[in-house]
Amino acid sequence: MGLSKKVFMIAFGSFVMLMCTLSGCTRTYDIPDAPDGRVYLVYEGKSNYRIVVGEKASKAERHAAEELKKYLKKITGFSISIVKDSKKEADLEIVVGRTNREKDYEVDRDSLGEEGFTILWSNKKLVIAGGGDRGTIYGVYDFLESLGCRFFAEGVEKVPSNKTLELQLHEPKTDKPAFEYRDLFWTNTYDPVLSTKLRLNGCLKSGENGRTIPKNLGSGIFYAGPHFVHTFEHLVPASVYFDEHPEYFSEINGERTAKHLYSQLCLTNPDVLKICIDKVKEWLRENPEAKIVSVSQNDSFVIESYCTCSECKKVDREERSKSGTLIRFVNKIAEAIKDEFPDVYVDTLAYQYSIEPPRVTKPLDNVIVRVCTGGCSAHPIGNCPNNSGIKGCIERWAKISNRIYIWDYTTNFAQYLCPFPNLDTLQPNMQFFYENNVKGVFELGNYQEGLIGEFGELRSYILAKLL
């Protein structure tokens, strides 16, 4: 063969390969039929499947498809291509998220909500679709876990090796998280990638500098304002108001005080209410994607830091609880913002002096009460005499509120590295929360950087799976 002919053949071959690439052609492999009721997703390191995403797929849907491709390659060694749904439909597809393929099957996104998902077969087409972006991502990780993958901790995962993936054609699987808000305040779950793999959706802080979950991971729940808890000091700063308006702050033993970590606000003062309403609206306007704003008491070393002025005392006597002034105050803020922010909840605490629910006033529908646990960690809340107090509080709040969150404690804060035998209590406590209509759970653990604590990764993994 002459040199010119060789050059021509090389050029022609390169042209054909380029045209195939540009037109979306993929090589077809000779793969045998699987047994009845089963399919070969990958056979001996080869596959005729492709992953399909929508032409206008979101960042999160594209991320879900990339994660599926990445881990399928880790498992089988074969890289399945990703194409858009504008490509001609094929029989062997893994459809991720919203696409034009849904004429052949139905995804009930209303019932799934933002974080639910369905995994189904349409003939030999595998469909992984969520009610929203988070659901689609969770569906992909659930499918990978069904193949044997596990995501234990940051940099610690189990990925099986299997050149052939023979799958059962099954009825649609639908799943959604038991709790709408799921957050672990443990250092090893601060990584948003791991948090997403573990189906956590909380964000401890708002704004660019906080631990928010980026849009390519489906975003998450985050709070407007500078912090997600203990916000009285941010709503009405003593450094701004106390010198001229000491009446805005707690009266304790006959004196107004605003010492840091020792005082609260006077919740019957109308000026305090107006300042807080204006500030809450300001925070929400600055964070239009936020769905929750915290109006909650300061974290005080002095439990009796609440205001004891005559008006506050009067309300608390009527309510037979120190939470009376708090819930009435929070209700007024929730009422004031609901027209401009109809989808936003106002979050407050049932903590220390406010742990008991009021007897007269009920939280409004757009109010979240976050009940803080405490007591014996060695036994479940539901059947330990030492936990009867907090058990009763949660049950009483459940009777008057339709949206309870839990602030739970799951480590030894005095000695992080000492053995803390509470592993047997985690599941029954979570079951107790669920049975009492709790909607969200926040687990406070080893939150300080560099201090993982005794079996910190193990506890984090177990807690995430229980949520």
What domains sit in the chain, N to C, each tagged with a CATH number?
26-175 (3.30.379.10), 181-466 (3.20.20)
* Mean pLDDT score across all residues of the chain: 91
Closest CA to 186 of 428, 432, 426: 426
Confidence of residue 207 (pLDDT cuts 50, 70, 90): very low
1, pLDDT greater than 60 = no
pLDDT tens digits, one per residue of 62-114: 999 999 999 999 999 999 999 999 999 999 999 999 999 999 899 999 999 99
Q: How would residue 6 be classed by pLDDT, with cut points 50, 70 and 90? A: low
pLDDT band at 118 (very low <50, low <70, confident <90, very high): very high
pLDDT: which is higher, 323 or 209: 323
At 224, phi and psi to the nearest 5?
-75, 155
Say yes or no to pLDDT of 20 above 50: no
Burial class (CB in 10 A: 0-12, 13-18, 19+), 324: buried
Higher pLDDT, residue 208 or 111: 111
Q: What integer pLDDT is reported at residue 23 of this predicted model? A: 43
- Do 291 and 345 meet the contact criterion of CB atoms below 8 Å apart? yes
Lowest mean pLDDT among 231-245, 250-264, 317-331, 333-347: 250-264
Q: 3-state class of 128 per DSSP? A: strand
| Interaxial angle between packed helices 323-337 and 310-319, expressed in degrees from 0 to 180 and rounded to the nearest 10 | 100
Closest CA to 53 of 88, 21, 91, 82: 82
Our CA dihedral for 441, 446, 450, 452, rounded to 10 degrees, sits at -100
CA 234 to chain centre: 25
Which pLDDT tens digit goes with each residue over 369-424? 999 998 898 899 999 999 999 999 999 999 999 999 999 999 888 887 888 889 99
What percent of the chain has a predicted confidence (pLDDT) above 90?
A: 78
Is residue 18 scored above 60 in pLDDT?
no
pLDDT in tens, 121-172: 999 999 999 999 999 999 999 999 999 999 999 999 999 999 999 999 999 9
Q: Confirm whether pTM is higher than 0.85.
A: yes
Cβ–Cβ < 8 Å for 334, 327: no
